Amino acid sequence: MLNALNVAQSGLYASKIAVENVSNNIANENTPGYKKRVIDQTELEHLDSRFYGRGVQASGAYRITSIYMSQNLMRETTRESYYTQRNEMLGDIEAIFKETDTSGLSKDLTRYLQSIENLRSSPNSEIYKSDLITHGSLLVNSMKTLYEDIEKAEALTKTSMQDNVNNVNAILKEIGKINEQLGQHKIASNDLLDRRDQLELELSKYANISSEDINGTYTLKIGNVVAIGNNTVIRDITVEDSFTPQQDRYLNSDGKTSSILNGVTFDNDDTITYKLNNTSEVSIQYGESIDIDGDGTFETVDETNYLRALVSKINNDPELSKTVVAYNGTYTKNPDGSKTTNDLQDNYLLIEAKDPGEAGNFNGRIVVTEQTDINDPTTVTNKSKVYRDEHQSKDGENSVQIYAFDAPISISSGVLKAQSENLTTDSYNNKFTVYKDKLDALARTLSDITDKFVKTGDTTYIEGEISTDGYTGDQNNIISVGLFSGGNVKTLTFNEKNVHNLDQTKLDYLATLQWKNNISFEGKGQDIAGVNASSFSEFYQELRINVSSDKESNNFLLKTQKAVTQSVQSSYDNLTKVDKDEEMLNLIKFQSAYTANAKIVTVIDEMLQTILGLKR
């Protein structure tokens, strides 16, 4: 009977603990990161071979969780954060390109073209000349403003990325402190484990992570790199920038020989001209004397030293030397930072930007002119354009990478992935660079096509400086306009002084550009059929459409990913979150158990009282 009393007493205690646990679950229903607790009730161990039990014990409360579902939720949260961040950045770009009925680049372009048409109808009108100057300048300013706004968006993204990295480091430190506290307890605190899980979920918004706790040893990885090891060893992550300069190599596919004189015999009065950004150029002529090595000794330019002569001309030109440095082949870096080349012979032309990274990008090309008399413009026998080898050259690149203890972290998703790839120029998903390249192509083509032309018929022309580079007729037929100059948006300039030199012939040519719909924007002249040839207006409208299309595509992906994340979150919550209805049923169940055990105690007490009464 006394044993039965002990059984009932243990039931009372276990039921009381269970009721208190239910109350705690209900109280923490809305606590962030809280996972419902379940009381571990087990039968008390038998002390002998008697067949009846000794009661129940409430040995502790454990959390309801799932490592598999938790990792899955973090993975989907990372993906959603990636698309959310991209959506924010693309939204900023879309706002930059937004136009009204009276403002925007397309409106400025239309007004500029109309001002050309107006001046064409009255070439001597000072009012129309002033109008053209106004709208030409506004067109340049509008393009520069768009470009600068994209650069501002990049700068804000970079600042935000640094802030996010600081947040990640703060979360890592907090997880380390929790692990330190957990190490001070023999039994892990459920509250601390909940907090650590919540921090992991928050961390997963920034980058793809994985964690494991094996035999009390906790490890957390960001991407492929351990960020927390052995519970409390924390590696801070940093943002590292690297910039590489643009390098143009005029080289054959063999990787050894120069591509400048392929099929050309360099002799007589032939010239080789290097042109930079449609603004500056230098030339060397066969037979001229040049101090190639800068030692005061002059050498006669011929087919054996023309490369070194061209390198010398480029590096000593006051304009070109501000932007680029020329080398006779691949250079070797010395400990003091200087660069040396093998100048015992001509190798190949290497042009490198002075400013590293995207900011130093430039446009260059070479024109080889074969003629018998440099003083006679009708004696040109051949002109060939030479461009850099695209496979062996490279544009200036900006790279933004996440590091931990000098080890690069390869992340596949999350906020930091979206930001880093849009700040790294060679990233396939970099939209900032794509839009800026399109604007540069527009500026470069506008500069080229309004610079020079040759009239070949009543309404037919060879358009642009790059195209006239290949013109072998009487060079006096090449008419210089020079209305715009520059090789990209940053160097684009409207030369208003040349407006006063526009005659009827030049205006007739410029007027054809407003309805010309086969303009090539590939940067290799209008005599090369462009794959995506269009008009100025169509090219810019296509750019705006691409901006909106990118935003809509990302919206769709974000909406889809949100649905996936919500589904996983719902399944995870059903398992781990407090269900008030379920808890109320448990409360009724444990209250009934408490009442039943209390009834047993009461009955046994009455039986004992009866027995004691019999003895008297």
Cα 290 from Cα 145, distance rounded (Å):
43
Dmax over CA atoms of the chain, in Å, equals 147
Contact 279, 490 (CB under 8 A): no
Beta-carbon neighbour count of residue 308 at 10 Å?
25
- pLDDT computed for residue 483 by the predictor: 96
Instruction: For tokens 């484990």, name the residue.
Output: 193
Does residue 522 contact residue 528 with C-beta atoms inside 8 Å?
Answer: yes
> Across the chain, what does the average pLDDT equal?
92
Token output for 108 = 């400025």
Q: Confidence band (pLDDT; 50, 70, 90) for 51?
A: low
The pLDDT of residue 542 is above 90: yes
Strand partners, 350: 249, 327
pLDDT category at 583 given cuts 50, 70, 90 is confident
Indicate the pLDDT class of residue 607, thresholds 50, 70 and 90: confident
DSSP string, 350-367: EEEESS-SGGG---EEEE
Summarize pLDDT for 342-357 with one digit per residue, the tens: 999 999 999 999 999 9
DSSP per-residue codes, 164-195: HHHHHHHHHHHHHHHHHHHTT-SS--HHHHHH
pLDDT, tens digit, 9 for 90 and up, residues 52-76: 677 888 878 888 989 999 999 999 9
pLDDT digits (tens, 9 = 90+) for 78-119: 999 999 999 999 999 999 999 998 999 999 999 999 999 999
The strand order across the sheet containing 452-455 reads 461-463, 452-455, 479-480
- The DSSP H or E segment spanning 338 is none
Mean of pLDDT values over 419-440: 94
Specify the pLDDT at position 376. Answer: 85
